[in-house]
Structure 1
Amino acid sequence: MSGVRFIVSGKVQGVFFRASTRNEAMRLGLHGHARNLSDGGVEVVASGSTEALRELEQWLWEGPPAAKVAEVTRSDYAGEVRAGFLVF
């Protein structure tokens, strides 16, 4: 299991991005969280199989229908990841 931190920018707040991310992550069997950032972006931390993380990253580039994703950055995440998938 590896941990990854994604920062998603664009029109990603107020469009059900975090809730939709939670649904996608749970479908993929991932653990972690999604939270809004003060700069208008969304942070997604996820842990799971390499393939599931790859699928989540591809999904993040699209997001829910009302989102307009401008950029997704990915970095390793060494912190603790709680079981389940939380939205803050």
Structure 2
Amino acid sequence: MCGRIAYGRVVCGAKTRKSQPCRSKFEPGRDRCHFHGGLSTGPKTDEGRARIVAAQKARWAAYRQKNGGLNGGYNCHYPG
């Protein structure tokens, strides 16, 4: 046992990759288990938010450089 008491906690119920409901228990005070967002709160401080923004910008810049532009090299507009 991992040390947590599961008494009074119900199953998560989120859809898994196999399209089955998740059978893990809710996190206390949450609606989902820790796999499906029960422990996720996102960045709370301004520094944390700035760090996420910088990481996303770097990731998208690398993606665009690798795939040739905003749309991965695809032209979304039909020739007119």
TM-score range, shorter chain: under 0.3
**TM-score, normalised to structure 2's length?**
0.24
Q: Over alpha carbons, which structure has the higher Rg?
A: 2
1 or 2, which has the higher strand percentage? 1
1 or 2, which has the higher helix percentage? 2
**Structure possessing the higher relative contact order (Cα contacts under 8 Å, 6 or more residues apart):** 1
